[in-house]
Structure 1
């Protein structure tokens, strides 16, 4: 009986502990409309206070370069699923930081593409301190990532960082940051006047909507979008964006370091369509690739080949001309309290989320190059939302390119009508609660009007 009494006391104590932990760790979802929240008012005020870029002094000049960020040692694989924490040991293809620097005498901008899963928030914090080494500030940098789930990890501390990118390694942060700065330096060393042009091609048949497993969905953005820069020497650079998720390597291929299909695509573009190419993931939120091939390596080659063929037919038709229009806007975002849901309509409290993930600032970016406006988002941004920007873009007479992973990472932003669906994109990866789709659209359209 004494043993039983001790056991019951221990059990009761354990139950009380669990109940207390849940009480201080969980809270109901706050579904207050975002327009009524302080974070909305703060961000809207910042948007209103943004000022235009200085006037141009000459037509756009540009230079481009890349720098390796391939580590000389094995690292965790940056991705999800079975990759968690496992180290790659085979370099399928090397990874780089790629930069295009543009200058019109009034504004200088660096466009940077990273061959990693996302733009690590830890790298952004390091860049904010070190960008003056190359004469820039964070406000003058537009970043994106290829979103390969088989690139380097180790860049995120905390429990969530461990799950996404494996064990934290400060040396990886330094290596990526050094690569970005080296690419910018080299690009600044070969700048010359350029002509600017835009092109796009439909590739909707190469993607599908992963949310459709939970019910009806709308059409995705399936356009390949291209920004072409051409020097008087004939040398050219090509920025390419597309919304297919680079997940052609299955989870069990964590042993390979690879850029997935964006790497294969860029390599081919640099052989046939441009002297330099950089890929940035477009609106990839919930967008899966339609793959062909018996092995993952075949799928990568075939997918990149399908995209490359369409691009190769389009690039010669892109009309380029001199242009002096160059401006960039950075909008720091306030967000609703963290809202990762764990049980029904209950979510973890902010202190718990920040303890396991970290608290990183995030921005929206707008970059105008000639008649093309790029909008950068700190998330997996949904391809279903892209169509909403077309009327405003047409009204303003500009082309719009939307990219994901511009810096701080806040999870997925999908249409608000899917908030209560039980998919990974709408539940597991929605970290900041309801109405983010409408909130992001409003702020991004505000940037588009401003720029």
Structure 2
């Protein structure tokens, strides 16, 4: 009897051992096909760089203006009639908002100078969802536009509508996917463009700038020395002969005054409060585009989230209100748009030390979406759009070239794709959220983006 028991134990032990060995072999095989070391080949030696440079050279020149710039503007309410996941803060894990604190909108400014029209679109969302960008590429001909002629951005509120991103990463960022949300946002963009097209008229153009450096701080400063951020509020004013005016406003403060634990409210955070006040006192219409927010946090002042938003937006609005009457406007006919398809290094999200996820796994859990850089010139103002949280530490590098070209430069984030954060290359090995968790496409992206954006600025 004891002998049989020993044999039974040996048999069980043998089975358990085989299972464990099989599990170990499976894990090792999975790691072998799922992980790879970081590729630190300089970007100038990579095929994607050569391809993007070729595309840059091939971008067409803009035709001569036939008229002075004309513009129209409008917005469309895209607030869902039902509750949705909240976009932003992965710790919420798809939690739904329950109270509409602010309605959310798609806003559009349509411009032309007698040639092919262009549109600036601002979304009251966390980012421009790649799914919405793909839908717009198919449907923009309905309003006589092409994707290449649309400059798009978002306010980056972490308390806006989610549900627009499939896949595991999309689930973490924006909650469970709902195709109806994608359709609703896309319909709203097209509706805003149609309404804007209906009130196009000649406009005069002006630029204003306000220092608000005291409203932001560098979130990666705790990891070591950093460079100055971009603390300027930038304003583009368009005014019709009727006196109607539009303000395009851009600033680099992260819209995170609603904290991660307060997901009950649908809100546009401080950009929404700011735009509402500007439309009451400074312009007939206003649109906000998040600037180079990639390493900035807002310096909040207040006891509750609502107080922080009111105080933050109120102080920015007060500074803008003092500046807007001083903006000098004039007629201009210069209008040009460039869209540069952007090649990238293989996906490089790091998981263990200097080991990264292989492309097949990244695309399986996130998706594979094209990315572009955008450049839009309106008179002597140039907007450069990036498909990421672009770091404000880069902005001062562009100042000499902007002065040389005699243009006012806006750099914005979230232009229709999303590739994570782009921060200075010197910080690549720092253990911060921005530089490690959210750097999805490897080393040297900072220098690569700067080079391509400066070339776009020269070309436009």
Q: The TM-score by the shorter chain falls in which range? A: over 0.9
Shift of 1:252: 1.3
| Partner residue in 2 for 1:59 | 68
Distance in 2 (alpha carbons) for counterparts of 1:442 and 1:422: 26
Q: Determine which structure has more spread, i.e. the larger CA radius of gyration.
A: 2
Shift of 1:106: 1.6
| Partner residue in 1 for 2:249 | 240
| Partner residue in 2 for 1:26 | 35
Q: 1:339 aligns with which of 341, 344, 348?
A: 348
| Partner residue in 1 for 2:448 | 439
Shift of 1:55: 1.2
1:14 maps to 2:20: no
Shift of 1:318: 0.5
Distance in 1 (alpha carbons) for counterparts of 2:381 and 2:314: 26
Q: 2:325 aligns with which of 316, 320, 338?
A: 316
Q: 2:111 aligns with which of 102, 107, 119?
A: 102
TM-score normalised by the chain length of structure 1? 0.99
| Partner residue in 2 for 1:286 | 295
When the two chains are superposed, the root-mean-square deviation of aligned CA atoms in Å is 0.6
1:344-383 to 2 correspondences below 5 Å: 344-383=353-392
Q: 1:160 aligns with which of 169, 181, 186?
A: 169
Distance in 2 (alpha carbons) for counterparts of 1:335 and 1:68: 35
| 1:107 counterpart SS class | coil
Note if contact 1:117-1:151 (Cα within 8 Å) is conserved in structure 2: yes
Q: 1:77 aligns with which of 72, 75, 86?
A: 86
Shift of 1:83: 2.1
Distance in 2 (alpha carbons) for counterparts of 1:80 and 1:434: 25
1:212 maps to 2:212: no
Distance in 2 (alpha carbons) for counterparts of 1:344 and 1:309: 47
| Partner residue in 1 for 2:184 | 175
| Partner residue in 2 for 1:128 | 137
| 1:253 counterpart SS class | coil
| 2:182 counterpart SS class | helix
Distance in 2 (alpha carbons) for counterparts of 1:183 and 1:84: 31
Note if contact 1:101-1:110 (Cα within 8 Å) is conserved in structure 2: yes
Shift of 1:84: 2.1
| Partner residue in 2 for 1:90 | 99
The answer to which of 288-297 and 48-57 deviates more is 48-57
Deviations 1:65-123 (A, max 9, x none): 00011000010100023222111110010000000000100231100000000000000
Distance in 1 (alpha carbons) for counterparts of 2:324 and 2:409: 18
Shift of 1:138: 0.1
Deviations 1:281-332 (A, max 9, x none): 0000010000000000000000001110110011011000000000000000
Distance in 1 (alpha carbons) for counterparts of 2:227 and 2:453: 20
| Partner residue in 2 for 1:255 | 264
Distance in 1 (alpha carbons) for counterparts of 2:310 and 2:129: 27
Deviations 1:118-165 (A, max 9, x none): 000000000000000000000110000000000000100000000000
1:421-440 to 2 correspondences below 5 Å: 421-440=430-449
| Partner residue in 1 for 2:424 | 415
